[in-house]
Amino acid sequence: MMGFQIVVLWSDILIWLLLAAGIGFAVLIARNPPLLAAWRRVGASRVGMASATVLLAFILVGLLDSLHYRPALEGKPGQETRYAVEVLSVLDALATPLRTRNEKTYSEPFATRLYAKETVDVPGQGAVREYPRLKHGGKHLAEREDEVAADAGFTAFRAGVLAFLCWLAVAGLASGAVGRGEAPGTGWQRIWRGETAFAWNAVLVALALMLLVAVPLFWLSGQYHVFGTDKVGQDVLYQILKSVRTGLIIGLVTTLVMLPMAVLLGIVAGYFRGWADDAIQYLYTVLNSIPGVLLIAAAVLMMQVVIDTHPQWFSTAAERADLRLLALCFILGITSWTGLCRLLRGETLKLRELEYIQAAQAFGVSSWRIIVRHILPNLMHIVIIALVMDFSGLVLAEAVLSYVGIGVDPTMTSFGTMINNARMELGREPVVWWSLAAAFAAMFILVLAANLFADAVRDAFDPRA
Amino acid sequence: MMLKVDNLRLGFMAGKKTLAAVDGISFSIAKGETFALLGESGCGKSVTAQGIMRLLPAAGRVLGGSVSMDGESLLTLPEADMRAWRGGRMAMIFQEPATSLNPVLTVGQQIGEVLERHLGMTGAAATGRMLELLRQVGIADPERRLDEYPFQFSGGMKQRVMIAIALAGEPELLIADEPTTALDVTVQAQILDLLARLQAERGMAILLITHDLGVVARMAHRIGVMYAGELVEVASREAFFGQPRHPYTQALFKALPDMSRRGQRLATIPGQVPSLAAMPAGCRFAERCPHVMPVCREQSPAWREVEAHAVRCHWQGDAADADAAGGGHDITDLSVSAGREFLQVDGLKVHFPIRKGLLQRTVGHVRAVDGLSLAILPGRTLALVGESGCGKTTVGKALLQLIPPTEGSVLLGGQQLVGLRGARLRAARRHMQMIFQDPFASLNPRLRVGEIIAEGMDALGVVGEARSRRAAVAALLSQVGLPEEAIDRYPHEFSGGQRQRIAVARALAVQPGLLICDEPTSALDVSVQAQILNLLKKLQSELGVAYLFITHNFAVVEYLAHDIAVMYLGRIVERGRAEEVLRAPRHPYTQALLSAVPLPRLEGAAAVIRLSGETPSPANPPSGCHFHPRCPHAMDVCRSRYPEAVDVTATQRVSCHLLST
């Protein structure tokens, strides 16, 4: 057993804090009947629950990627243990085969040979230009290179059967839970007739689809590069898995930065009116009229200089990339609070005229207490809707910013950097399409799931809908 | 019979179930007749109208029955043909004139649309017809008004335009869904007169939907009473007001506050209308009926003809003995001894600046309250009466210092409130609390009832310890007639009347000497209103609270008030003891206001004094006496000088030149 040293990155702290906050929030909701009722409506929405299942899978990958450590280097016994410069995560450890089995350069999905010709010395024939065999992809086939389709198909079938069995077990547990204390089989029937309060059938269908795709994919990825390899021969599937965390952090931490500002300023402007309102309105009108990308570019470049001139702050490259990611979240947060702020100001203007607020004022309740007790809880539905809606927008924003080169650190894998690399790949001949296609598909699924979930949340929380 | 509704059943889809909102109602309307559908909120009146027009909301379904007009069945017509009927042979006017006109189209365009669709009229012919229609509904200077937008019209004028649009297709049937509920009494009188005149001229049939017995008494020829989706009684106007037969109708009449019931408890109807999802199998009124018999719970009663009434009731007794049995008993002594004034208001002014332009300069003031003086004695009720926009609500808020007064003094038990701040203002507020109009907006939906009631105690530091506070809240709840379990429940679990009780309990929590009640019953049904009025009277006799009762409802004033102050455009024009003001009003405005109130009786007010126009804007009040442009007795001096207040008797003061000369 190799020793290791736990590394806690700033973004790890934030992501686990967010998880803790989420759990705490859930406990609070369970004690607050109106909120609980709204979340029950989300739970009853089929689309909402199916997309939540997909989102959970993404979040699980992101969480696994947020436990970092430095493995110990092998050294002589008796010597002080030294740790590698490279920072790994639990996900890296689980996906060690994907991470380590690098090829020389591009190779197509399920290929057994490289995508580019090379000059190879063949004994007896001298230097020959040919597509060399991959070091890892399809190695087990040896000479039977033309049987890739049959081999992959058979493996996928076996994995599919396993996935189906797993799913049956989960479905059995679910129907057992639903029909507890009733005749056997009723739980199952109630799930499929959609008679359960929670949309179990949607969750199970989404889970079935996910298992049927994911299990064969990962099984095959042990023998092939299922999404191909990139320019330096790294497996694209591995890059996709690593990108998930970046996307989640951008989507979640940014809202965390923007939320206090938007809520505080929005409520203050709406409740106190007068000069506070004027000042806050001018602030966000000014901020809104500066081109967002320009502002972000300026801030990111400035921060880049600061980071580059203080190398002593960081002991590993991962820490530097991490700080840059957080700074990006911060900058995105500072530029994107205006929309929610405006919304909350308007709603507060409406609420402060309501009679229960006036009744509280007539009792001489202090302004801050009125805001905390009467206004904030009645704004929560807007905040929740905005949070979920903003998430997908921010994931997309990261892709755009990395594409123009002002996004995350170039050493950090993200959907944006993958798409940025694809710019060159699409320009070469023959075209390398798989990197872009895989990044596109993964991001599409993540954002679509987030959007559908946001819709379900909005329907459940919006009193006007 | 022109319109015949036969066993009509309408329902709403709720999930996979269908809930019947209207369950088998039948009635017919003859040409030139007004049929009134009367009932409390949620009993299916409006759904019936929507069903006849086939304008049900998306979740609505026609479950059965038929609607036929002149022999043609409306429910089976294709939608394209139905459009020729809507607006053509039958038209509808709605409750809220502010939202039933499109704000971005001129009035002319909106009337022209109907003319073009139903009569194929365009160009000069259409314009001529539009002018004629506007003249018919009593809009002056129609040539200019035709090109104006709805925002340039006042509420009553908008309702006239709405009527003109409805009349444009020359309908034979006009459905009026609460046409005057959103309007002031003087404007209501104008609109009701207009409808009656138009009906006489054109021989239209009118289906009038309302909850107001006074409007019914003035307008209807025949009346159908609805309860929980069923018609329970149908009678002619004379028979209906002569002797109502159904126990529900009788209870409605008895719940009405009135001068003759002063000092007595009002009859209330216990319980609530059953919800759509849990309709009882037998008679739907059985749970609340004073004459309930075992058969009522098992079998839905059939129609029965009794002396020009058709009634659905098993009970065959007489209304007379019910009157004797349900007669009220005294609960308060009206002759409260007059002590020192509890609250003395002098020259109170509240002006709101009107800001315009880039630099937000003040270009004028809305004089919401403009020099108002009044006094409230401990343990008595002062009613502040006036039409909407006269500044009544602003007075209430200014007294509580929720809106800082611009000028004047408010003395509470000798202490000046204007200009007080911080802890001293908080201490003063203990003695004065407010009950609001809308029980749905006045309770925070996210707090439990216990927290809502305890809020005032916390803020003013009345009770400190947690246990004694819970006991105090429970005591308050029982005082307003709610069970102790209510503490841990949320406001949405309560009905409108119960919510208003919670609001009363919240105000009482700090033991105030004065409660400012801002239209506390105007959002409630008659039977619930009676419960709240009884509660307020009971609390007054037990605790000796004084009330400032802000309202436009004269029936409530007659029943409750010791003193009355009549307000017009930010000033009090007449004040005095209730008997004096109600029996011998001296100001022309008070006289007109009192005569315009529709009475729920056969012998209506002898002569309604018609007031032309509506209340002018407080931003730009007329010179001299504010009332002179509408006053039937206006003289030259009225245009130039505001009249001094004149003492008519020791207690009655009137501001009018008629009395000073």
A377 contacts on B by Cβ (under 8 Å): 444, 446-447
Using the Cβ of B355 and the Cβ atoms of chain A, whether some distance falls under 8 Å is answered with no
Q: Which residue of A has its CA nearest to B511?
A: A363
Residue B608 has pLDDT above 80, yes or no: no
- Give B154-163 pLDDT, tens digit per residue: 888 888 899 9
Using the Cβ of B14 and the Cβ atoms of chain A, whether some distance falls under 8 Å is answered with no
More confident residue, B28 or A127: B28
Q: Which residues pair with A72 in a beta bridge?
A: A83
Residue B327 has pLDDT above 50, yes or no: no
Q: Is A410 exposed, middle or buried (0-12, 13-18, 19+ CB in 10 A)?
A: middle
Using the Cβ of A281 and the Cβ atoms of chain B, whether some distance falls under 8 Å is answered with no
Q: Which of B441, B459, B490 sits opposite A356 (nearest CB)?
A: B441
Question: To which residue do tokens 């490289």 refer?
Answer: A114
Write down the pLDDT at residue A384: 80
Six token digits for residue A317: 């490259």
Six token digits for residue B55: 């304008």
Rounded-to-integer distance, Cα B511 and Cα B500, Å: 17
Residue B332 has pLDDT above 50, yes or no: no
> What is the DSSP pairing of strand B303-306 with strand B72-73?
unpaired
Q: Which residues pair with B330 in a beta bridge?
A: B264
In the 3-class helix/strand/coil scheme, how is B479-517 assigned residue by residue? HCCCCHHHHHCCHHHCCHHHHHHHHHHHHHCCCCCEEEE
B510 contacts on A by Cβ (under 8 Å): 363
Six token digits for residue B389: 């926009």
Shortest alpha-carbon distance between residue B478 and chain A (Å): 21
- Give B274-305 pLDDT, tens digit per residue: 888 888 888 888 888 888 888 888 888 888 88
Are A363 and B429 within 8 A, CB to CB?
Answer: yes
CA distances from B472 to A282, A425, B178, B426, B480 (A): 48, 76, 42, 21, 13
Write down the pLDDT at residue B323: 45
ipTM for the assembly = 0.79
Write down the pLDDT at residue B337: 53
CA distances from A138 to A102, A221, A234, B492 (A): 13, 10, 15, 65
Residue A1 has pLDDT above 50, yes or no: no
Torsion of the alpha carbons at B175, B177, B182 and B184, rounded to the nearest 10: 50
Asked if A107 and A229 touch (Cβ cutoff 8 Å), the reply is yes
- Give B77-104 pLDDT, tens digit per residue: 998 889 888 988 899 998 888 888 999 9
Rounded-to-integer distance, Cα B370 and Cα B408, Å: 10
Q: Which residue of B has its CA nearest to A36?
A: B446
Using the Cβ of B444 and the Cβ atoms of chain A, whether some distance falls under 8 Å is answered with yes
- Give B18-50 pLDDT, tens digit per residue: 888 898 899 999 999 999 999 888 888 889 999
Q: Which of B425, B434, B446 sits opposite A364 (nearest CB)?
A: B425
- The band of A288, judged by pLDDT with boundaries at 50, 70 and 90, is confident
Shortest alpha-carbon distance between residue B408 and chain A (Å): 20
DSSP B205: E
Say how many C-beta atoms besides its own lie within 10 A of residue A179's C-beta: 18
Angle at B274 (CA atoms; ends B273, B280), nearest 5 degrees: 135
- A window 362-381, beta carbon within 8 A of B: 362-366, 369, 373-374, 377-378
Q: Which of B402, B445, B510 sits opposite A34 (nearest CB)?
A: B445
DSSP A229: B
CA distances from B476 to A357, B83, B443, B493 (A): 21, 56, 16, 19
Q: Which of B437, B444, B460 sits opposite A363 (nearest CB)?
A: B460
- Give A324-371 pLDDT, tens digit per residue: 888 888 888 888 889 899 999 999 999 988 889 988 988 888 889 999
Residue A197 has pLDDT above 70, yes or no: yes
Interval A3-27 mean pLDDT: 88
| pTM of the entire predicted model | 0.80
Rounded-to-integer distance, Cα B575 and Cα B561, Å: 12
- Which range of A137-141, B175-179, B485-489 scores highest in mean pLDDT? It is B175-179
- The band of A127, judged by pLDDT with boundaries at 50, 70 and 90, is confident
Q: Which residue of B has its CA nearest to A365?
A: B459
DSSP A226: T
Shortest alpha-carbon distance between residue A299 and chain B (Å): 34
Write down the pLDDT at residue B319: 52
Residue B140 has pLDDT above 90, yes or no: no
Question: To which residue do tokens 């989706």 refer?
Answer: B229
DSSP A111: -
Asked if A137 and A235 touch (Cβ cutoff 8 Å), the reply is no
Interface test with A, best of B452, B455, B460 (most A CBs within 10 A): B455
Question: To which residue do tokens 């109907």 refer?
Answer: B114
Q: What percent of chain B has pLDDT over 70?
A: 95
Q: Residue B655 contacts by C-beta under 8 Å, 6 or more apart in sequence?
A: B571, B572, B573, B574, B587, B625, B642, B643, B644, B645, B646
**Secondary element (H or E) of residue B231:** strand B230-236
Using the Cβ of B548 and the Cβ atoms of chain A, whether some distance falls under 8 Å is answered with no
Using the Cβ of A121 and the Cβ atoms of chain B, whether some distance falls under 8 Å is answered with no
DSSP string, A316-375: SHHHHHHHHHHHHHHHHHHHH-HHHHHHHHHHHHHHTTSHHHHHHHHTT--HHHHIIIII
Are A360 and B510 within 8 A, CB to CB?
Answer: no
B397 contacts on A by Cβ (under 8 Å): 358
Are A362 and B400 within 8 A, CB to CB?
Answer: yes
Asked if A342 and A280 touch (Cβ cutoff 8 Å), the reply is no
A363 contacts on B by Cβ (under 8 Å): 429, 433, 455-456, 459-460, 510
Indicate the range of A249-263, A395-409, B130-144, B433-447 predicted with least confidence.
A395-409
Q: Which residue of A has its CA nearest to B509?
A: A363
Are A34 and B441 within 8 A, CB to CB?
Answer: no
Write down the pLDDT at residue B463: 61
Interface test with A, best of B444, B462, B506 (most A CBs within 10 A): B444
Average pLDDT, chain B: 86
Rounded-to-integer distance, Cα B283 and Cα B296, Å: 5
Backbone phi and psi for residue A461, each to the nearest 5 degrees, phi listed first: -100, -30
Q: Residue B100 contacts by C-beta under 8 Å, 6 or more apart in sequence?
A: B93, B94, B158, B162
Shortest alpha-carbon distance between residue A378 and chain B (Å): 7
- The band of B324, judged by pLDDT with boundaries at 50, 70 and 90, is very low
Question: To which residue do tokens 């809220």 refer?
Answer: B96
- Give B371-422 pLDDT, tens digit per residue: 888 889 888 899 999 888 788 888 998 998 888 899 899 988 888 888 887 7
Q: Which of A33, A359, A366 sits opposite B490 (nearest CB)?
A: A33
Q: What percent of chain B has pLDDT over 90?
A: 23
Asked if B7 and B50 touch (Cβ cutoff 8 Å), the reply is no
Using the Cβ of A183 and the Cβ atoms of chain B, whether some distance falls under 8 Å is answered with no
- Give A291-335 pLDDT, tens digit per residue: 888 888 888 888 888 888 988 888 888 888 888 888 888 888 888
- The band of B427, judged by pLDDT with boundaries at 50, 70 and 90, is confident
Angle between helices A148-178 and A200-221 (to 10 degrees): 150
Shortest alpha-carbon distance between residue A97 and chain B (Å): 51
> Residue A384: which of A465, A449, A458, A329 has the closest Cα?
A458
Q: Which residues pair with B381 in a beta bridge?
A: B547
Rg (alpha carbons) of chain A, rounded to whole number:
26
Rounded-to-integer distance, Cα B95 and Cα B188, Å: 12
Question: To which residue do tokens 């609607």 refer?
Answer: B67
- Give A62-114 pLDDT, tens digit per residue: 999 998 888 888 777 777 777 887 888 888 888 888 888 888 888 888 888 88
Indicate the range of A368-372, B122-126, B526-530 predicted with least confidence.
B526-530
* Side chain identity, residue B451: E
The half-sphere exposure of A328 on its side-chain side, counting CA atoms within 13 A, is 31
Angle between helices A317-336 and A338-351 (to 10 degrees): 40
> What is the DSSP pairing of strand A68-71 with strand A88-89?
antiparallel
Residue B331 has pLDDT above 60, yes or no: no
> What is the DSSP pairing of strand B230-236 with strand B309-312?
antiparallel
Are B445 and A378 within 8 A, CB to CB?
Answer: yes
Interface test with B, best of A356, A358, A370, A375 (most B CBs within 10 A): A356
> Residue A118: which of A226, A264, A233 has the closest Cα?
A233
Residue B328 has pLDDT above 60, yes or no: no
- A vs B: CB pairs below 8 A: 64
> Residue B520: which of B511, B422, B251, B507 has the closest Cα?
B507
- The band of A380, judged by pLDDT with boundaries at 50, 70 and 90, is confident
Write down the pLDDT at residue A64: 92
Write down the pLDDT at residue A268: 94
DSSP B183: S
Residue B64 has pLDDT above 70, yes or no: yes
